Chains A and B, each alone.
Chain A
Amino acid sequence: MPVPSPFHPRTADLCTSLAWKSWAGIFAVEHFGTCHEREYYALRHTAAMIDVTPLYKIDLTGPDAAKLLARVTSRDITKLDVGRCTYLCWCDDDGMLLDDGTVTRLDDEHFRLTAAEPYFHWFESHARGVDVELSDTSARIASLAVQGPRSREVVAAALEPEFQSALRTLPFFGALAARVRGFDCVVTRTGYTGDLGYELWTANEFALELWDAVDLAGFAHGLLPAGLSALDVSRVEAGFILAGVDYTSARDAAIPAQKSSPYEVGLGWTVELDREDFIGRSGLAKSRSNPHRRATVGLVLDWNELERLFEAEGLPPELPSTAWRGGVPVYSASGQVGRATSGVWSPTLKQNLAIGMVGRSHAKVGTKLEMEVLVEYQRLRISATVSKRPFFDPPRKRFTPKNSPSSSHSSPSGELV
């Protein structure tokens, strides 16, 4: 039985569809209404608020906090400035990927790491001989994601006035210690939607107040609460991989072939090798210098071909409107070369997209492959072209205004695709 998140009194009221799922053992809404489209469009056109409390959180404090993170993760965290976040991964000592996540530097000696899976004891086990205190704050911090073109105005309006200007000029992957209605709230400009967006972190006891503050602030901007279905569509559009779906953690791998190096998963850019020794370094160095066995790619699927296949059966094309996850084979002329593990029909791009892993020699952008589809119970194939990731990458995602205009709803929020 999952347990409720701190936001449950609000989300339960609103989830009239009763479509819940369990995310890390916590009740999470799939979609509030009868379908998720409305929530998705809010996410892409105005703003959406999503309960992301089920993320695991570790707080690290002390003089050697940065040193420990540098020792265990892929990045030299000692170089991270206060008020900045960074996306990274961590590996086992063979250099095989365990998980990906985000680290925020809240203060000189205070860091917070978030991840999709629990790794508290993994980090703690490496803390011998370093002056750092680790705290598993997963069950103590509530977290709300506010994402979409209007999210800047919404979040600014929810904060106490003295923080609004700082919020408006908060850079991509920046962090701000702010206050909402009298309580502390950390705001990071991070998210899983590939759009302009923020995540708000506060202690559980203030969760409901935070929700109400954001809800109120968002009213004028068309903010809607959104569930995981909408989130999943947006994350596939953004080309983001999902642990456990698009790659298997080395911890969960049943056979060696299921393990991946970060380079195979498209996370090579998060690996800083040329620095002091850290966990996994020599394995990573080997992976970097050797030809990779595989690579993670984005695939754009040929819509017309799919349409024709359905037509041949006398059917209109049917695609689920939510994102799918699983595994279907991907082929080249010579045979199977990999698999696709996540996919979605992108309402924004009007394209049929997938994310998968293929042999490296087939991973160049523009390569023409084929993906298996099931049409009226027949296993058929359609063209899948390797494309760059992210698929959807609007300028507003990274754009930050130079100074903060006084009125809130006329600021440029970036054009739509």
Chain B
Amino acid sequence: MSAAKSALVLGAGHNGLAAAIRLAQSGRSVTVLERCSQPGGVARVEEFHPGYRVPGIQHGTLGLRRRVAVELGLASFGLRFLEEPAAVFVPQLDGAGLVVRPGADALPLGLAERAPDDERAWKDWRRELAPIRSVLDALIDQAPPQLEDAGLPTLLKLARPGLNFRRLGADAMGRILRAAPMCAEDLLSDTFGDPLLRAYLASRGIEGAFLGPRSAGSGALLLLRELAGGNGVAGGASALTKALFAAAQAAGVEFKFDATVDALVLKDRRIQSVRLRDDRGLDSDLVISCLGVRSTFALMEGVVPDRERRAAERVRARGTTAAIRLALSAPLRFRGRETETFEFARIVDTTVELERAFDNTKHREACSAPWLDVAIPSATRSDFAPDGHAAVSVLVHNAPFNLDGGWTEEQKSALLEAVLSRLESHTENLRSSLVASQHLAPTDLAEVYELDGGHPMQAELGLDQLWIQRPSVHLARYETGVAGLILGGRAMHPGGEFSGSSGLIAADYALSTS
């Protein structure tokens, strides 16, 4: 009797679920080990106050690639792409603000009135960027090529995107090659006049990165996000989790919840087994770890491959995000937009302010005016807050993991106060309707979601930690140097915001090499 070969997946977040489904599709007998009692990872639904829920720290699903949804058959489990990205309100203290659809060609609402020249500029910009999409698509949906000892097949593989790129024509190529290393500040001041639009777009270049608008690489990230995002799914991150989980179960994947991994037992550079905290050992010759890279290496027991270990230690993951959850007894209304319901808002002011805020972060200081991502999941999910109430999730972006003096209660309270002050200047009824709040400093995020450095992406985004260098040249191909132990989490290409892609590509890679 030949039993199906087994496989273990560590982590039941989106990447873990995607990897598990793929492995099961290929005939493996898959077990997913999850520390918590439910799937979802950073997107797992949490009741932060009785009756109020948020989908972890994942606000959107814009990064979900069609390929992932199609290949994992998620439509049959109720997953539906939206027609267009959900609107994001970018308020302004003394003005009407903008309403944007992230990554879409659609002109931001309010832009034409604010800055007529920018309407033309926007259209030109989207038109110039459009051809790059195909090049990016090829890169995002596949494993990065092997640069070292590359034979002809790999060179050709590398050449294809190169050739596509060249086909864009000299002018376009020159423009892109010039824009790629630029900082968002320069790129945007070359293109647009409206300060609020610039600030919003600049924020798309620094999110998840240890960068300010004047840092090189923020231009590339901005372009990446503008071009590589999708429309997101109805029901958001929790709907995605649900569909993935259902698909996994349907594929025969077994789940062990409340199972904490204690060690990855190696023997002669092969994975032998996974030992759980309760001392149970599970043998397998294929383990895909969707935990952080540093965490994965820290779990290894035995002689660890030297080069990969050093590379893992050098992966930079300096978290700069804190999460604040607010339970409100009334819907959150924005000034000047009281009749409109927004599910998302981004609070930014100017690029100068973003830069100053990053200065604080760089120097491990608290920031008095951090920029914010606001999500109100209860706006589209009635089960996330009592009737007429609101559950609000705020991601605070200038909260350094290694704050000087540490994240004391005092510092956390100061952060909450800074957020409330900033928010209430844009909203009507914030403090009066505040029922309860929960704050998670980066150090808390590290613990609660097992994030290396408290970083939501498990590894910083940046020119030097992208694609063939994500999270390091020696680890970019999902290998750990230990046979049978594969990395498939958010730290791997293409990265955390492309929900499930890292896990899927890692699983494909593991299957092709096993």
Which residues does A use to contact B, with CB under 8 Å?
Answer: 71, 92-93, 125-126, 129, 276-279, 281-282
Contacts and interface: CB of A to CB of B under 8 A. Distances in A.
A401 to B, nearest CB: 42
A282 B303 contact: no
B306 A277 contact: no
Q: Which residue of A92, A93, A281 has the most chain B CB atoms within 10 A of its CB atom?
A: A93
21 contacts: A71-B303, A92-B306, A93-B306, A93-B307, A125-B310, A126-B306, A129-B301, A276-B268, A276-B303, A277-B266, A277-B267, A277-B268, A277-B269, A277-B302, A277-B303, A278-B303, A279-B303, A281-B268, A281-B269, A281-B303, A282-B269
Contacts of A126: 306
A126 B307 CA distance: 12
A277 B267 CA distance: 7
Contacts of A71: 303
B299 to A, nearest CB: 10
Interface string B305-324: 11100100000000000000
A282 B310 CA distance: 18
Contacts of B307: 93
Interface in B235-280: 266-269
Nearest to B298: A128
Contacts of A279: 303, 306
Interface in B108-153: none
Contacts of B306: 92-93, 126, 279
Nearest to B308: A93
Contacts of A276: 268, 303
Contacts of B302: 277
Given A71-B303, A279-B306, 19 more contacts: A92-B306, A93-B306, A93-B307, A125-B310, A126-B306, A129-B301, A276-B268, A276-B303, A277-B266, A277-B267, A277-B269, A277-B302, A277-B303, A278-B303, A279-B303, A281-B268, A281-B269, A281-B303, A282-B269
Contacts of B269: 277, 281-282
A129 B304 CA distance: 11
A13 B133 CA distance: 78
Contact of A93 (B266, B267, B301, B305): B305
A276 B301 CA distance: 13
A125 B309 CA distance: 10
A121 B378 CA distance: 54
Nearest to B263: A129
A279 B310 CA distance: 13
Contacts of B305: 93
Contacts of A125: 310
B24 to A, nearest CB: 31
Contacts of B266: 277
A279 B268 CA distance: 10
A125 B266 CA distance: 19
B266 to A, nearest CB: 8
Contacts of B268: 276-277, 281
A276 B310 CA distance: 21
Nearest to B297: A128
State the 6 A-B residue pairs at the shortest beta-carbon distance, nearest first. A93-B306, A277-B303, A277-B268, A93-B307, A279-B306, A71-B303
Nearest to B305: A93
A384 B288 CA distance: 57
Contacts of A282: 269
B428 to A, nearest CB: 54
B344 to A, nearest CB: 43
Contacts of B267: 277
A292 B456 CA distance: 49
A388 to B, nearest CB: 35
Contacts of A278: 303
A91 to B, nearest CB: 10
Contacts of A93: 305-307
A125 B311 CA distance: 13
Interface in B269-295: 269
A71 B304 CA distance: 10
A71 B266 CA distance: 14
Nearest to B268: A277
A166 B19 CA distance: 65
Contacts of A129: 301
A305 to B, nearest CB: 46
B466 to A, nearest CB: 26
Nearest to A93: B306
A284 to B, nearest CB: 13
Contacts of B303: 71, 276-279, 281
A65 B267 CA distance: 20
